[in-house]
Amino acid sequence: MKIRDKQFAVVGLGRFGLSVCQELADAGAQVLAVDVNEEKVKAATQFVTQAVVANCTLEDTVAELKLSDYDMVMVSIGEDVNASILTTLVMKESGVKSVWVKASDKFHSKILQKIGADHIIMPERDMGVRVARKMLDKRVLEFQELGSNLAMTEVVIGSRLMGKTIGQLSLCQNDEIQVLGFKRGPEIIKNPGLDKVMEIGDMLIVAGPKDVLMAKLKSL
Could you list the residues that contact ligand ATP (CB under 6 A)? 11-17, 34-37, 40, 55-57, 77-80, 83, 87
Beta carbon nearer to ligand ATP, 35 or 202: 35
What is the enclosing helix (H) or strand (E) of 119?
strand 119-121
Q: Min. distance of Cβ 41 from ligand ATP in angstroms?
A: 9
**Whether the Cβ atoms of residue 75 and residue 121 lie closer than 8 Å to each other:** no
Beta carbon nearer to ligand ATP, 65 or 166: 65
The amino acid at 23: E
Beta carbon nearer to ligand ATP, 52 or 166: 52
Q: Min. distance of Cβ 30 from ligand ATP in angstroms?
A: 19
Q: Min. distance of Cβ 134 from ligand ATP in angstroms?
A: 22
In whole angstroms, what is the distance from residue 75 CA to residue 100 CA? Answer: 6
Beta carbon nearer to ligand ATP, 61 or 153: 61
191: left (phi over 0), alpha (psi -120 to 50) or beta: left
Q: Min. distance of Cβ 79 from ligand ATP in angstroms?
A: 4
- List the alpha helices (DSSP H) in the chain: 15-26, 38-45, 59-64, 81-93, 106-114, 123-137, 210-218
**Residue nearest ligand ATP by beta-carbon distance:** 78
